[in-house]
């Protein structure tokens, strides 16, 4: 990771607004830490919920934080809140509490310090950061933590709705009127774009985001130039500035992840490109019938496997599976994923197709078997299989025993699997090149630091209100 030049700067305050769900707040903090390390005269106030801050700042000492100060915002849940069990309920309640929860916390801080914010760095989902920045005469730098292709879909949501319609649509229709998306079908689009509950809180938030992003000072993306050239060019034509500053696993400091369960030692006992690594991230668990189908396929196939399994494996997997596969499989509650994907013995990654996992897979140079669940995962899978040709989706998008066996055979023991490995090696080379000194992502990081650490000359509305 290249050292950035330390920026000579006046004392500035920068507000960082995180979206406290899924894998959003962590990457934003990684980027801010990268900038803060070379901007000692800038204080970064990191606003998120108490639960999210407790998680992402866990284990950090005061000296690790440096000039980053976490602040809690209201999560939208009342003191007597009783969870209904619906996974989106806390998300919706939080969205309904915005932007007021951030505004209250930020105005309190401005009143205490007598100094307004010169820049807002936000998760791109928090579209209202643009309006706040305009009120303050501050810069707005939203971070998009997923891929260029999903970002373009959200920016062009109104175009898609006009051309395709809403809900009563032909799911097999190709999106051939948008550059770089000709292989994408309507069925691949995230719910809330042209299908599903278009007026749901999350759908409304991400639609507003797409409309607001062209007003941003610069849009930062956790990706690299070479992965989506046509789409990158299209986004550049619509934004004031597009800054590819990823993959973060190469361009920002990553925490040390211990291998407490001996995964790497176990992998070293297997031949090159022979092991199937399985993980579905920190949010998703496949439904019971699919877990059974996946387990049955792993038991029958010839390939060794390493499975990072969330939950009680003995209870959730078929009876006798752990004992029957003891000699060829290893199941752990957590694994150092990037180190595993870089290991020579790993031949395929069975994944939910989340963007962070895709970037780690590219850096590891390992083909994918994809079982998408929600959000941008169907869209990611389409590009992985059809456009980039670095993996395969399971038949009909669900795990069956036959679908898993077919996908494992294809990726681990066929000529097509070898071609996938060659193609993903090219993406890996492109990512590594972007992250090198004078690479595109490193150059963009320098531009981002300059944007964040210089001040607008005009007083902000918030600043004047204190005089």
CA distances 66 to 36, 44, 108, Å, are: 8, 9, 22
How far is it, in rounded angstroms, from Cα 10 to Cα 230?
39
Number of H helices, E strands in the chain: 22, 13
Mutual angle of helices 401-413 and 288-300, in 10-degree steps: 50
State the catalytic residues: 24, 123
Mutual angle of helices 148-155 and 229-238, in 10-degree steps: 40
- Collect all residues with Cβ–Cβ distance below 8 Å to 165 and sequence separation of at least 6: 194
Category of 448 on φ-ψ map: left (φ > 0), alpha (ψ -120 to 50) or beta: alpha
- Collect all residues with Cβ–Cβ distance below 8 Å to 268 and sequence separation of at least 6: 343, 345
Q: How far is CA 69 from the centre of its chain?
A: 23
3-state secondary structure 330-374: EEECCCCHHHHHHCCCEEEEEECCCHHHHHHHHHHCCCEEECCCC
Strand partners, 344: none
- Tokens 């866990």, located at residue: 58
Contact 306, 335 (CB under 8 A): yes
Q: Enter the tokens of residue 287.
A: 């439904």
Angle at 202 between CA 201 and CA 203, to 5 degrees: 95
301: DSSP letter: S
Residue (of 345, 352, 362, 338) closest to 304 by Cα position: 345
């Amino acid at each position: 990771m290249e050292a950035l030049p330390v920026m000579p700067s006046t004392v500035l305050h920068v507000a960082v607004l995180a979206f406290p769900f899924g894998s959003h707040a962590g990457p934003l903090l990684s980027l801010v830490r990268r900038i803060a390390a070379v901007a000692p005269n800038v204080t970064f106030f990191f606003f998120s919920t108490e639960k999210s801050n407790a998680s992402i700042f866990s284990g950090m000492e005061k000296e690790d934080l440096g000039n980053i100060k976490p602040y809690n915002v209201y999560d939208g849940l009342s003191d007597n809140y009783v969870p209904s069990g619906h996974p989106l309920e806390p998300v919706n309640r939080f969205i309904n509490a915005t932007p007021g929860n951030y505004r209250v916390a930020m105005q309190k801080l401005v009143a205490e310090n007598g100094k307004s914010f010169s820049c807002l760095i936000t998760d791109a989902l928090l579209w209202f950061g643009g309006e706040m920045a305009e009120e303050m005469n501050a810069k707005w730098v939203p971070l998009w933590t997923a891929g260029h292709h999903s970002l373009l879909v959200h920016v062009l949501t109104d175009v898609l709705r006009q051309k395709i319609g809403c809900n009563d649509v032909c799911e097999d229709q190709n999106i051939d009127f948008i550059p770089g998306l000709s292989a994408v079908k309507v069925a691949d689009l995230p719910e809330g774009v042209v299908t599903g509950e278009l007026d749901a809180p999350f759908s409304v938030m991400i639609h507003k985001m797409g409309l607001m992003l062209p007003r941003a000072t610069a849009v930062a993306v956790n990706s690299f130039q070479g992965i989506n050239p046509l789409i990158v060019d299209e986004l550049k034509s619509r934004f004031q500035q597009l800054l590819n500053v990823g993959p973060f696993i190469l361009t920002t400091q990553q925490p040390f992840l211990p291998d407490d369960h001996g995964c790497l030692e176990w992998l070293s006992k297997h031949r090159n490109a022979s092991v199937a690594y399985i993980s579905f991230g920190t949010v998703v668990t496949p439904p019971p019938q699919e877990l059974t189908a996946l387990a049955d396929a792993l038991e029958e196939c010839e390939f060794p496997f390493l499975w990072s399994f969330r939950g009680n494996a003995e209870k959730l997997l078929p009876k006798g599976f752990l004992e029957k596969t003891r000699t060829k499989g290893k199941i752990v509650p957590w694994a150092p994923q990037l180190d595993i994907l870089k290991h020579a013995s790993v031949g395929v990654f069975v994944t939910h197709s989340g963007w962070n996992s895709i970037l780690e897979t590219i850096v590891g140079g390992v083909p994918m078997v994809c079982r998408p669940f929600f959000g941008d995962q169907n869209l990611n899978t389409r590009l992985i299989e059809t456009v980039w040709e670095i993996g395969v989706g399971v038949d009909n998008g669900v795990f069956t025993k036959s679908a898993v066996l077919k996908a494992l055979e294809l990726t681990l023991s066929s000529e097509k699997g070898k071609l996938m490995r060659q193609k993903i090696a090219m993406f890996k080379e492109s990512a590594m090149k972007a992250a090198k000194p004078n690479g595109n992502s490193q150059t963009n990081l320098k531009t981002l630091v300059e944007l964040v650490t210089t001040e607008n000359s005009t007083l902000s509305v918030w600043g004047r209100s204190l005089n």
